[in-house]
Amino acid sequence: MKKKLVSIVLAAVLSAAALTGCGEAAEDNASSVSSAQSAAVSGEAASSDSSEAVSSEAAASEAASADSSALSDASSEAASSDAAGTSEPVDISVAALKGPTAMGLVKFMDEADNGELTDNNYSFQILDAPDELSPMVVKGDVDIATVPGNLASVLYNKTEGAVEVFAVNTLGVLYIVDNGTPVDSVADLKGRSLVASGMGSTPQYALNYILQNNGLDPDSDVDITWVDDHSMALETLMKGTADLAMLPQPFVTVAQTKSDTIHVDLDLTQEWDKIQENSDTASSLIMGVAIVRKDFAEQHPEAVAAFMEHYADSVNYVNSNVEDAAALVGKYDIVDEAVAAKAIPYCNITYIDGEEMKAGLSGFLQVLYDADPSAVGGTLPGDDFYYEK
């Protein structure tokens, strides 16, 4: 069945189109930076002139030795103090994208703004799209950022390894919806017409992966129409031009507020997970991650550890206190409060770090790489991409 290509959008720009419905669009055009960005600044030790040594300097030497020992002890005590979490507060600049990746941060942001957190000095800014955020990461203007999963890999390659990923914060947000002609399984998509946005990017790769692993050929078994954005996809569905649409949250919830005939049929995150039950290589459908500048993480490991703890607590709060979290989401102008209250349970906001993060994300990036290497920046990131506590 021949595809109808309504609009072909650059893969790099739409590498995170699933998150665009949550205020996020992909950007692969971050400028390259040299590896010097991550180089450590070395100090210089001054040498002393010993050409005029005299016997009377022995006493001075002993005194200097005592002073040196005292400084060493003081340094050790300071290091111990830092390890205990009593070091001086660190300034941490954070940039998040509108949508689930920012929604998970709202409790953290609120506590920081209210002065309830004093361990470090946190400053947050919420941006509309990755093409605003990516240059900031490349230039080192922010210390921590939330970005689409594949964009993190692209930035790693663009900056020659100057960023690390320390957490997965959003799993899949893609859903198949109908306007009166539902499906009960992926197999039911055969012979049906479906409209979606995100051609040449994560949504297409994810859909193709799921179709192929359910015995369907995306090029012949499903009549897929690719359009510019989610609004166009919804409009096409509402007009009856397509049976089904692939939409992300919270755009699905927004659509349902406009029409009570829109129903969710398939959660593509669940369909991805079903495939993994029989897969030798574990992976997860991952939409968003949190990254940190490598040099910042090396200089301030305690600050990064504190941030991770606050972030995990915030995500837990959002998922456990939906109504209150929705109010905060509205307060920070991420999504309308009423929409957030309905959408949060379906946005797959999460916090996963360590080996579980590495296993799920590396498998996901492998799927994208196999489909199109440019989706991850040309090459798969090395082990140094994954932050270790």
CATH of the domain at 189: 3.40.190.10
Cβ within 8 Å of residue 2, ≥6 positions away = 223
Q: Are residues 288 and 197 in the same domain?
A: no
Mean pLDDT to the nearest integer, 91-98: 96
pLDDT band at 91; cut points 50, 70, 90: very high
Residues 167, 297, single domain; the answer is yes
**Which band of pLDDT confidence, cut at 50, 70 and 90, is reported for residue 131?**
confident
Runs of H (alpha helix) within 25-178: 57-83, 100-103, 106-113, 130-139, 149-158
Q: What is the mean pLDDT of the chain?
A: 81
Q: How far is CA 246 from CA 103, 198, 237, in A?
A: 22, 10, 10
pLDDT (0 to 100) of residue 327: 98
- Mean pLDDT across 231-249: 92
Retrieve residue 23's tokens. 């205020």
Question: What does the pLDDT read at residue 117?
Answer: 95
pLDDT at 189 (0 to 100): 97
How is residue 124 written in tokens? 């947050």
The answer to whether the beta carbons of residues 169 and 315 sit under 8 Å apart is: yes
**288 and 362 assigned to the same domain:** yes
Please give the single-letter amino acid code of residue 387: Y
Q: What pLDDT is attached to residue 283?
A: 86
Q: Tell me, yes or no, whether 287 and 367 share the same domain.
A: yes
Q: Are strands 223-227 and 193-197 parallel, antiparallel or unpaired?
A: parallel
Residue 58 lies in a domain: no
Residue 46 maps to a domain: no
Are 303 and 379 part of one and the same domain?
yes
pLDDT-based confidence at residue 14 (cuts at 50, 70, 90): very low
| Structure token pair of residue 296 | 């910042």
Identify the pLDDT of residue 201.
83
> 345, 322 in Cβ contact below 8 A?
yes
Confidence of residue 373 (pLDDT cuts 50, 70, 90): very high
Q: Grade residue 188 by pLDDT with cuts at 50, 70 and 90.
A: very high
- Comparing 53 with 127, the larger pLDDT belongs to 127
Res 279: pLDDT: 74
Report pLDDT for 361.
95
* Cβ(107)–Cβ(328) below 8 Å: yes
Domain stops at, among 261, 276, 291: 276
What is the share, in percent, of the chain residues with pLDDT greater than 70?
A: 78
Q: Of 257, 276, 295, which residue sits at a domain end?
A: 276
CA-CA distance, 158 to 139, in Å (whole number)? 11
Q: Are strands 223-227 and 263-267 parallel, antiparallel or unpaired?
A: unpaired
Q: Is the pLDDT of residue 316 over 90?
A: yes
Q: Which domain holds residue 222?
A: 4-12+173-276
Residue ending a domain, among 276, 302, 323, is 276
Instruction: Decide which of 250 and 94 is more confident.
Output: 94
State the pLDDT at residue 252. Answer: 92
| pLDDT tier, 346 (very low <50, low <70, confident <90, very high otherwise) | very high
pLDDT of residue 200: 83
Tell me how far apart the alpha carbons of residues 247 and 116 are, in angstroms, rounded to a whole number: 38
Q: For the chain, how many structural domains are there in total?
A: 2
Clarify whether residues 272 and 297 are in a common domain.
no
Q: pLDDT-derived band of residue 280, with 50, 70 and 90 as boundaries? A: confident
Q: How confident is the model at residue 330 (pLDDT cuts 50, 70, 90)?
A: very high
Q: pTM score, two decimals?
A: 0.76
Check pLDDT > 90 for residue 339: yes
- Is the pLDDT at 124 greater than 90? The verdict is yes
| CA–CA distance, 73 with 79 (Å, rounded to integer) | 10
Does residue 54 belong to any structural domain of this protein? Answer: no
Lowest mean pLDDT among 47-61, 76-90, 329-343: 47-61
The pair of three-digit structure tokens given for residue 104, joined into one six-digit string: 């998970």
pLDDT at 363: 93
How high is the pLDDT of residue 197? 92
Q: How confident is the model at residue 145 (pLDDT cuts 50, 70, 90)?
A: very high
Higher pLDDT, 229 or 325: 325
Q: pLDDT band at residue 97, thresholds of 50, 70 and 90? A: very high
Q: Is position 253 within any domain? A: yes
Task: Decide: residue 125, CB within 10 A, 0-12 exposed, 13-18 middle, 19+ buried.
Answer: middle
pLDDT-derived band of residue 7, with 50, 70 and 90 as boundaries? Answer: very low
Domain-embedded: residue 37: no
Structure confidence at residue 18 as a pLDDT band (50, 70, 90): very low
